[in-house]
Amino acid sequence: MPPVPLAGHTIRQNVRVTLGGPRLRIRFSNEFGDGPLAIGAARIDRGGVRDTIRIASPTAITFHGLPSVTIPVGGAVVSDVVELSMPPLSDFAISLFLPSVPGGLTGHPGSRTTSFIVDGDHTRDPAFANPATTEHWYVISRIDVERPAPSAAVVVLGNSIADGRGSGTDRNDRWPDNLARRLHDNSATSNVAVLNAGIGGNTVLRGGLGPTALSRFTRDVLVQPSARWLLISEGVNDIGGARGPDSSAAVARELIDAYRQMIDRAHARGFRAYGATILPFNGSQYGSADHESARATVNQWIRESHAFDAVVDFDAAMRDANDPTRLRADVDSGDHLHPNEHGYELMANAIDLRLFVSSS
């Protein structure tokens, strides 16, 4: 939850788009709220430095022509199209004045990005005075950018490693961010967006933080506009949460069944489905012989079953050559589970960009 109550406050949140275009729209969510959410005013502009935006007249965001909207419990709303030219890999600031918010608030805990909160409606202000700060996102759930040329997107379905745990605040250096930069710099893939559907603490099967990968699959993958590829990089929290050898072995079998389900559902919608091997975690809170056996079973299946259309072998790129059950020392953030910024760069570099060309 935010450090101060959001009711009656303005929150300014900085977000990055991977593809550019002349127009965009924004999806706002109250899907996890326990009461209605009121947006009294909303504005957007190119992002500046921290809480400053570059011009004094940010563009208004409207809803069916109106400046405000109330989102019911469990609902979401997509804004009207906003005329705002955005270059690829550019940042912008979304300012929301929220007259009333539910006690339970829809948000993203691991934003790795600073948000700024001030009392009253300051959506027009070019800068905030003495704002409260928090490294979370709230209410914003998707940005759709209109492209003048054909384009497509890859959805990364993941956990805290896709979410960027161990990366730098306000640096946009998670591995999906680094992948987006590589795609942009490669002429054959410069029209490919990266949609990061990573949730820290998320699981595929049960428990964890947020809806499981299976239960959120339609919303977060299948109905994303222009999505064409799926990259699944999830399962470590399921394995780490298993208790005892029988439980670990059962989780490995259930994960493989879940991957098959997701592959089939993706294929039925015309996606190509890619699978990423699970990183080593010995030395972390998840480290045990049973968990390592389960990880090895799942990774062997990912590599050898040919169920995925292609495999991204993060494990091979990141494991210690002398002890393959552990992360390399130079890519370890220190908890032996999450990579550091160098590790996230190597993960992005391990992905063959030819997987995302138009003929793939």
Measured from the Cβ of residue 246, the count of other Cβ atoms closer than 10 Å reads 10
- Please state the rounded mean pLDDT for residues 3-12: 95
Q: What are phi and psi of 146, to 5 degrees?
A: -80, 130
pLDDT, one tens digit per residue, over 242-298 is 998 899 999 999 999 999 999 999 999 999 999 999 999 999 999 999 999 999 999
pLDDT at 57: 73
- β-pairing, 9-16 vs 91-98, is antiparallel
pLDDT bracket for residue 312 (50, 70, 90): very high
Mean of the per-residue pLDDT values of the chain: 95
- Please state the rounded mean pLDDT for residues 148-157: 94
pLDDT bracket for residue 360 (50, 70, 90): very low
In the predicted model, is pLDDT for residue 138 greater than 60? yes
pLDDT at 358: 73
- Map tokens 């494991």 to a residue: 319
Q: Closest by alpha carbon to 210, among 111, 77, 338, 108? A: 108
Q: Which class for 4: exposed (0-12), middle (13-18), buried (19 or more C-beta within 10 A)?
A: middle
In the predicted model, is pLDDT for residue 49 greater than 90? no
142 and 27 Cβ atoms separated by less than 8 Å? yes
In the predicted model, is pLDDT for residue 47 greater than 60? yes
pLDDT, one tens digit per residue, over 188-245 is 999 999 999 999 999 999 999 999 999 999 999 999 999 999 999 999 999 999 998 8
Token pair recorded at residue 127: 């800068």
pLDDT, one tens digit per residue, over 317-342 is 999 999 999 999 999 999 999 999 99
- Please state the rounded mean pLDDT for residues 123-133: 92
